[in-house]
Amino acid sequence: MSGGEKSQGSGLVELVVIVAVALGLALGIQALLVKPYRIPSESMVPTLEVGQRVLVNRIGKRFSDPSVGDVVVFHPPAGSESDSCGNRNIGEDQPCDRPTVDRADVNFIKRVVAGPGDTIAVRNGRVIRNGREVDEPYISDTCDGDVGRGCNLPEAIRVPAGHWFMMGDNRGESDDSRFWGPVPDDWVIGGAFATYWPPKRIGVL
Residue 99 DSSP symbol: -
6: annotated active-site residue? no
What distances in angstroms separate CA 178 from CA 8, 26, 76, 96, 193, one per listed residue? Answer: 63, 37, 12, 5, 24
Q: Which residues contact 87 (CB under 8 A, 6 or more apart)?
A: 79, 100
Cis peptide before 46 (omega within 30 of 0): yes
Nearest to 99 by CA among 189, 162, 155, 174: 162
Does the active-site annotation cover 35? no
Give the single-character DSSP code of 160: P
The closest of 195, 144, 200 to 172, measured between CA atoms, is 144
Q: Which amino acid is at 115?
A: G
Residues in Cβ contact with 101 at an 8 Å cutoff, skipping those fewer than 6 apart: 86
- Distance from C-alpha of 110 to C-alpha of 71, rounded to nearest angstrom: 6
Instruction: Give the active site residue among 35, 61, 80, 110.
Output: 110
Q: Which of 43, 80, 140, 177 is catalytic?
A: 43
User: Cα–Cα distance between 84 and 149 in angstroms, integer?
Assistant: 14
Instruction: Give the active site residues.
Output: 43, 110
